[in-house]
Amino acid sequence: MMKGFFAKIAIALIAVFCFQINASAAEKYVVASDCTWPPFELLDAKKQPTGYSIDFLRAVAKEAGFTVDNRNVAWDGIFGGVATGKYDIVASSTTITPERQKQFDFSDPYFEIVQAVILPTGKTIKSLAELKGLRVGGQIATTGIFVVRDANVGAQLKEYDDVGLAIQDLIGGRLDAVVCDDPVAKYYANKKKDSMGKIHIALQTQDKEYFGFTVKKGRRDLVEKLNKSIKLVREKGIEAALIKKWMGE
Amino acid sequence: MTENLDNKTVISMRGVWKYFDSLPALQDVNLDVSAKERVVIIGPSGSGKSTALRSINRLEEIDKGTILVNGLDIMDKSNNINLIRHKVGMVFQQFNLFPHKTVLQNVTLAPIKLLKLTRDEAEERAFGLLKKVGISEKANVYPSMLSGGQQQRVAIARALAMQPEIMLFDEPTSALDPEMVGEVLNVMIALAEEGMTMVCVTHEMGFARTVADRVIFMDQGQILEAGEPDLLFDNPRHPRLKFFLNHIL
Amino acid sequence: MAETEEKQSAGNIVMVTEGGAIPNPHEFHLINAWSISLTLALTSLFALCIIWPEPYLRILFYLPDGIVVTFQITLLSICFAVPIGFITGIGRISQNRCIKLIASTYVEIIRGIPLLVQLFYIYYALSRFFQVSGIASAVTAISICYGAYMGEVFRAGIAAIPRGQTEASRSLGFNRFQTMAYVILPQAMRTILPPVGNECIAMLKDTALVSIMAVPDIMQRARSFVGTTYLYFETYTVIALVYLVITLLLSKAVSIMEAKLNYYDRKSR
């Protein structure tokens, strides 16, 4: 009996192993996203990654003829994972910056944003300079944090693991402001139930930022594949549909 | 109190019972000790003699009966047991010197903290006592450097520093190497000659014979025989005392 | 009955003296391992900074304010955790059933919850009722958590003092508090200090968890540096070495203090 049982397990394991080899032969890419960045990356009711970036990449994959394996990954390990080859593609609202380009390759931009400063309802500022001395929160190692740091206005920066936690501290009063991508700010200020109405976008920066899909340095093949399909997704009007689906209006 | 206490009676045990779990360690023990009397308690191990001694200063809490020390009921909450203990010195089988204090500090600690003596007064008293027990040259060393006999003599000096009216000795020589027994017994004999009230649990029958006014034989938690030493040792009446003496001598 | 108890306490005395004897060869061994580790850590740190000042020196210079925050949290937590531990330890051996039960329940509950969860709980979950700063939350959570651990250390340390010491003290007329203060604690310090020192070092290492509450300690400085430079290997190598140097220095300080507390039976050996 026991022998039969172990044999079954062995067969099952071999089957799984073969299946994986087959799957990789069919060009399956591991896609990493930090699902704390709505509406671009978030988890659905079944705890599966979803959002604009993820849908966009799925559309791209369909055009390019590869399949994706979505993973939810902590933000500050995400670049390390792609550098070591643990993930093939990062689809996680990654702004293309010169600093990042030194270390990674990027696809063509798939979205354009600016940075937004969120304040409690009723408070306003006219420039980043007015953040001087205030407790400003954001997600660790995101461009929102970089923008405030580079502005060098003397704000007290607090770096959270998750922008949602920063928003919670803003509502609770432990922060004076939060900086993040403008669609994310809009999501928290206008759509998310527990923060809606309590906070608002007080300021948006002038400098535009562009999201790109991030791959390991030197994977030109993958970049070209992505770029070609991004163009197709745009031309076929899928992009417009996705924007409507995730950003509304 | 129905008894009319002789004002010379300093310890009075009446109908004392003590249980360890459900086993009786003392069964209806009655014992009176007069001022300046030297009482020696003998008996096989487990006979309850140490328990009887330790109950006199409430190191063991009795379950039934009364114990009066200087006319004060030691189980009565309105009598401060700590003040009663000032007048009852105790010497232990294992010496129990404070290892973190020097010989001198061991002797002066209680007088300084409890009798509010100045350091000089306490040290003067301590040196007097250390000289008496013959160990004044070791005043500034730690107990761990002393032999067992020396430690026990310091322990006697420590107890005497509170100027007690009664001294309790709980097998003071049982933990000593044979060659050191004499030095401790000599100190005790000197103390007896000064007229100290003493209750002593010991196996030293020679000591009992020379020093004791009265010898008490205990077995199985009961006092089986009591009397002057010569009478008790030479003409034991109780069979268990006979048996005990035959085996120990 | 009394006789058997005496034998037990006699056994305790033997145990304590043996416990005191072990550190000598043990300490000698420790010093060896210690000096090798410290030399390795310091030389690698210096070598990296001298050979490749970019980026290693830059990483090192990015850290000082993080080190200050780490020490701040650690020291504040020690100030609270040690008294909490002491009170808990006393409570655990109290004759009052109620106090004993409260102390034991506290230890059971806290020991069963990971520190990370406690940090989240105090900072994020309880923020619904009151808001405290990240550092205050960190100090609170770490103090409560380590207070429970140290309670066990204090309990064991006090329980290891032979009963004869208490009896000798009580027989002289000292009350329970005086006995604790003059006789038991000074002796227990010797057994308690090394494990308490170790808990403090463990505490310093655990402060790395507070970076999740946006507290800019060493760990968060590192993460934020990595976030802009993507130099994972270089940054975390430096961080590991910095933590190692700090904890090695602290463990040395503990062992020096330990040796000083052994004054009263060193000469007899």
Q: Which domains does chain A have, with CATH numbers?
A: 27-111+211-247 (3.40.190.10), 115-207 (3.40.190.10)
| Chain A contact present for C130, CB below 8 A | no
Question: Mean pLDDT throughout C160-178?
Answer: 95
- Measured CA to CA, the distance from residue C206 to residue C148 in angstroms comes to 15
- Give yes or no for C230 touching A (CB within 8 A): yes
Taking contacts as CB-CB distances below 8 angstroms, the residues of chain A near C226 are: 76, 80, 141
Distance CA A142, CA A135 (A): 17
B22 has a pLDDT exceeding 90: no
By Cβ distance, the residue of C133, C216, C232 closest to A174 is C133
Q: How far is C4 from chain B (nearest CA, A)?
A: 8
Instruction: Please report which confidence band the pLDDT of residue A129 belongs to, taking 50, 70 and 90 as the band edges.
Output: very high
Contact C264 B144 (CB under 8 A): yes
Residue A133 region, left (φ>0) first, then alpha (ψ -120 to 50), else beta?
Answer: left
Tell me what the mean pLDDT of segment A99-108 comes to.
92
For residue A13, the model assigns a pLDDT of 59
SS3 (DSSP) at A242: helix
Q: Which pLDDT score, from 0 to 100, does residue B8 have? A: 81
Closest to C232 in 3D by CA, of A163, A180, A92, A141? A141
Checking if the pLDDT of B118 tops 70, the result is yes
Q: Do C171 and B51 touch (CB under 8 A)?
A: no
Mean pLDDT, residues B145-162: 95
Mean pLDDT score across all residues of chain B: 92
Q: What is the pLDDT of residue A4?
A: 63
Instruction: Compare C127 and C111 and report the one with higher pLDDT.
Output: C111
CA distance C237 to chain A (A): 14
pTM above 0.80, yes or no: no
The C-alpha atoms of residue A175 and residue A161 are separated, in whole angstroms, by: 15
- pLDDT at residue C11 above 50? no
**Chain C hits for B45, Cβ within 8 Å:** 3
Percent of chain C with pLDDT over 70: 86
Residue C6 has pLDDT above 50, yes or no: no
What would the pLDDT profile of C251-267 be if each residue is shown by its tens digit?
Answer: 888 888 888 887 776 44
**Partner-chain contact A99 C229, CB within 8 Å:** yes
Find the mean pLDDT for residues A190-217. Answer: 93
Q: How far is B203 from chain C (nearest CA, A)?
A: 13
Partners of residue C214 in chain A, C-beta under 8 Å:
137, 158-160, 165-166, 169
What percentage of chain A exceeds 90 in pLDDT? 77
| CA distance linking residue A131 with residue B243, whole number of Å | 97
pLDDT tens readout for residues B76-106: 988 999 999 999 999 999 999 999 999 999 9
A159 contacts in chain C (CB < 8 Å): 214, 216, 220, 223-224, 227
| Mean predicted lDDT score pLDDT of chain C | 84
Place C144 in a pLDDT band, splitting at 50, 70 and 90: very high
Across A238-242, C173-177, C188-192, least confident range: C188-192
What is the model's pLDDT at position C24?
41
pLDDT for the residue A24 = 47
Contact map slice: A 85-104 vs C, CB within 8 A: 99-100, 103-104
Chain B residues closer than 8 Å to C9 by CB: 94
Predicted local confidence at residue A3, as pLDDT = 58
C228 and A142: CB-CB below 8 Å?
Answer: no
Dmax (CA) for chain A in angstroms is 76
Which residue from A103, A104, A172 is facing C131, i.e. has the nearest CB? A172
Q: Would you state the pLDDT for residue A20? A: 52
Which residues of chain C does A86 touch, with a Cβ-Cβ cutoff of 8 Å? none
Residues of chain C with C-beta less than 8 angstroms from the C-beta of A174: 127, 131, 133-134
pLDDT, residue B216, reads 96
Q: What pLDDT does A175 receive?
A: 94
Of A165, A167, A180, A195, which to mutate for an interface test with C (greatest number of C Cβ within 10 Å)?
A165
Is the CB of A27 inside 8 Å of chain C's CB atoms?
no
**3-state SS, residue C217:** coil
Q: Look up residue A95 and give its DSSP letter.
A: B
Residue B60 DSSP code:
S
Shortest CA distance from C126: residue in chain A: A172
Q: Do chains B and A touch (3 or more CB pairs under 8 A)?
A: no
Q: What is the DSSP string of A71-89?
A: EE--HHHHHHHHHTTS-SE
Confidence of residue B248 (pLDDT cuts 50, 70, 90): confident
The Cα–Cα gap between A162 and C212 comes to 9
Check CB contact of A122 with chain C, cutoff 8 Å. no
Confidence of residue B247 (pLDDT cuts 50, 70, 90): confident
Contact residues, chain A, for C138 at CB < 8 Å = none
pLDDT score of C138 more than 90? yes
| Coil vs helix vs strand at B65 | strand
Nearest CA to B172 out of B65, B96, B242, B86 is that of B96
pLDDT at C16 over 50: no
pLDDT, residue C134, reads 87
Whether residue C21 has pLDDT greater than 60: no
User: Looking at residue C3, what is its pLDDT?
Assistant: 38
Inter-chain touch A174–C127, beta carbons under 8 Å: yes
- Choose the weakest-confidence range: A107-111, C79-83, C134-138: C134-138
CB C202 within 8 A of CB B189: no
Angle between helices B103-114 and B119-132 (to 10 degrees): 130
Give the helix ranges, DSSP H, for C112-217: 115-120, 134-159, 163-172, 176-178, 185-206
Q: Are C37 and C249 in contact (CB under 8 A)?
A: no
Name all chains with 3 or more CB-CB pairs below 8 Å to chain A: C
pLDDT of res. C27: 53
Chain C residue with the nearest C-alpha to that of B162 = C172
- At B26, is the secondary structure helix, strand, or coil? strand
What is the number of other CB atoms lying within 10 angstroms of the CB of residue A125? 15
Q: For residues B165 and C258, which has the higher predicted lDDT (pLDDT)?
A: B165
B205 at C interface, C-beta within 8 A: no
Q: What is the pLDDT of residue A80?
A: 87
**Rounded distance, CA B206 to CA B98, Å?**
31
Contact C93, C159 (CB under 8 A): yes
Cα-based distances in Å from B245 to B236, C13, C80, C264: 8, 32, 61, 43
Interface of B with C in 7-66 (CB under 8 A): 20, 23, 25, 45-46, 48, 50-51, 54, 57, 59-60
Percent of chain A whose pLDDT exceeds 70? 89
Average of per-residue pLDDT across A68-92: 91
